[in-house]
A = this chain, B = another copy of it.
Amino acid sequence: MHEEIKDILKRNNLSVTGSREKILSLFLSKAGALAHGDIEKKAGEKFDRVTVYRTLQTFVDKGIIHAIPTADNSIRYALCKDDCSGGHHHDHHIHFVCNHCGNTYCLDDVVTPEVRLPNGYTTSQIEVVVEGTCKACNK
């Protein structure tokens, strides 16, 4: 596990530092997405608030994580699939926010649907966020 983290950092030409290891480990040990606040709380005792911001920004720039926009206006982040490396994001999946447990998941197998726009509009990206009750909470 620990080696995997170093691998990810090196693969992205990032130096291996405590905060990066810590924050990356948070993502790897959690299925869903993490809100900025969660990360700050869990990493914040050991690392400065500013460092958390800069680390997350670095990870987004490198294509290691991606931001998920939600209705309550609190950014969440989740790990990208491997083919996002290099600063270009290719996340063609949708996101699911559970109103019951509050978790946010990447539904990697659900492809973003086609959207027929009126004439004149051109598309560069489509974001789909579904709200509802997740698998675990429906049991």
Residue positions of A touching B, CB distance < 8 A? 67, 69-71, 73, 75, 94, 96, 99, 107, 109-110, 113-135, 138-139
Nearest chain B CB to A89 CB, angstrom units: 11
CA gap between A27 and B135 in the complex, in Å? 39
One complex includes copies of this chain to the number of 2
Give every chain B residue within 8 A of A123 (Cβ-Cβ): 130-132
Nearest chain B CB to A100 CB, angstrom units: 10
Q: What are 27 A-to-B residue pairs whose CB atoms are below 8 Å?
A: A69-B71, A73-B73, A96-B117, A96-B121, A99-B124, A107-B117, A109-B118, A110-B115, A110-B118, A115-B128, A115-B130, A117-B130, A117-B132, A121-B135, A121-B138, A122-B132, A122-B138, A123-B132, A124-B131, A124-B133, A125-B130, A125-B131, A125-B132, A127-B127, A127-B128, A127-B130, A127-B131
